[in-house]
Amino acid sequence: MNRDRLNILYLGCSGFPYGLAEVQRILLISKALIAENAKVTVICSTGIHNKNNYPDLKRIGQHEGVNFIYSNGTPYRNSNLILRNIVKPFAKILEFLTIYKIYKEDRIDAAIISSMNFRDLLIYRYISKILNFNTLLNLVEVNSSMSGQKGIKTKINNYLFDHYAIQLSDGILPISEYLINLIKNVDLKKPYLKIPVIVDLNRYIGVEVNSEKQYFLYCGAAAYFEVILFIVDTFELIEDNEIYLYLVINGVASHLSLIEKRVFESDKRMFIRIFSKMTDKELTILYKSALALLIPLRSTIQDKARFPHKIGEYLASGRPMITTSMGEIPYYLEDMKNALIADNFNKKEFYSKMQFVINNPEQSAKIGSNGIFVAKTYFNYRNYGQKILELIYDLKQ
């Protein structure tokens, strides 16, 4: 088979090139493909950014070698609710016209779908059949397991996605063993490639450490307020009044207010700091300077199925990570060797790991250094570009 340069689209995403875990994963997978001589274009059907935050963002552009297009005509969210609702029905039409234009000018070999919306998946399936390209579903969650989702419309979407998304995709890019088992239960012959959390290791080269304060750090979405409240509860068990807790959280106001209220009520509120909307550089410095990085996982379907993006970033920073033995953790990490791992989502168990870091700085630093090796071996984004291309070539045969 003549292996020409492949032209790949990324569909179903929002906010590229600036955003949290989903956008970072899209960027890194795209860069991995570009490193293997593929062409990648990310198409966003709606604009979600605030112009004050990104005044120079264009409708069509390139970020770290990755092409992107806002098919609706603007990367910015219209502040007028009425106008937003008027143009909303036309978003998918404009997106199809953008896809068709790319198809006519070049060709489309495959599209990676980054959406948990069943309607989107169905539309992309029809488009792929009309224009004759394959689709790969980026599968990172079990929709129905995600907490905080309400409403009949959401429940219907989650049911349809969880039961039919795999069948509607030519190939799957699962993030965890739990999701691989789901794929096999649906279709033993369905092609898939596991892509775990991925990270750009170059992000940490030359980063200077700021050691003014000793602190534990958690970074994540405010929607995981159960986890954040667990961390605050556990931090209150630490008696050392020279140790701080840094919470780097972003999210909706209702979730943030719950966390702020809990921190305000804490006897250790003077030692807890909340950060949000940090740049990658600022966040990288915080990672590299922390006593340890916290990410407790629960024994829920949600935490068994997902694989938090921050785990790759934590390990690559070289600082010790404290977590729990849930989900993907046992497949890659060993307690006291390359991470500190509590057996259960239990405050006393998690506290003992935090206290160990305080009492044993040299051994903890070695555990953190061993974590870098895990990140290099399993989570380096460049490891996956050729593997994805091989899957696409197999689907084209």
Q: Do residues 209 and 139 share a domain?
A: no
pLDDT score recorded for residue 141: 93
- Total count of domains within the chain: 2
Question: Among 75-79, 257-261, 361-365, which stretch is predicted with the lowest mean pLDDT?
Answer: 75-79
| 333, pLDDT greater than 60 | yes
Residue 1 placed within a domain: no
- For residue 1, the model assigns a pLDDT of 39
Pairing of strands 321-324, 292-295: parallel
Per-residue pLDDT at 206 exceeds 90: no
pLDDT of 219 > 80? The answer is yes
Does position 147 have pLDDT exceeding 70, yes or no? Answer: no
Looking at residue 356, which CATH number applies to its domain? 3.40.50.2000
Kindly state whether residue 316 falls inside one of the protein's structural domains: yes
Same domain, 129 and 263: no
Find the distance separating the first CA and the last CA of the chain, reported in whole Å.
Answer: 8
Q: Looking at the structure, do residues 180 and 269 belong to the same domain, yes or no?
A: no
Enclosing domain of residue 262: 202-379
Banded pLDDT at 97 (limits 50, 70, 90):
very high
pLDDT at 79: 79
Q: For residue 146, what pLDDT band results from cuts at 50, 70 and 90?
A: confident
For residues 253 and 312, state if they share a domain: yes
Q: Convert the pLDDT of each residue in 40-85 to its tens digit.
A: 999 999 988 988 888 999 999 999 999 999 999 899 988 777 777 7
Task: Please check whether residues 181 and 78 belong to one and the same domain.
Answer: yes
